[in-house]
Amino acid sequence: MNDPDEKQYLFDNPRNVSRLLGGFYVVCAFLFVLDFILHRHVAITWEALAGFYALFGFVACVALVLIAKEMRKVVMRKEEYYDVDE
């Protein structure tokens, strides 16, 4: 599959991946802290909660994925499901 002589690409080096992730974590932390420094207008009471959008984004996506994963137990079928009579 992988030719040993083949060119090394950007993410073949695990250090590049961890650099990218490291930078990403820093940005996340920075954005979270900004919530306490900058003033956000609040139109809905929930928004007033510090870090509302950050928490909501994280929780929403974890919930989305875990629910979708459970859904698989009910809805997942073989690729030929509609092509064959059972």
1 makes contact with another protein (CB under 8 A): yes
CB–CB of 48/42 below 8 Å? Answer: yes
Distance CA 53, CA 35 (A): 9
Q: Which of residues 48-67 bind another protein (CB under 8 A)?
A: 51, 53-62, 64-67
Q: Residue 3 to residues 6, 7, 8, 10: CA-CA distances in angstroms?
A: 5, 9, 10, 16
Distance CA 47, CA 49 (A): 5
User: x/- site string to another protein, residues 10 to 49, per CB under 8 A?
Assistant: xxx--------x--xx-xx--xx-xx--xxxx-xx-xx--
84 makes contact with another protein (CB under 8 A): no
Where does this chain bind another protein (CB under 8 A)? 1-2, 9-12, 21, 24-25, 27-28, 31-32, 34-35, 38-41, 43-44, 46-47, 51, 53-62, 64-69, 71-72, 75-79, 81-83, 85
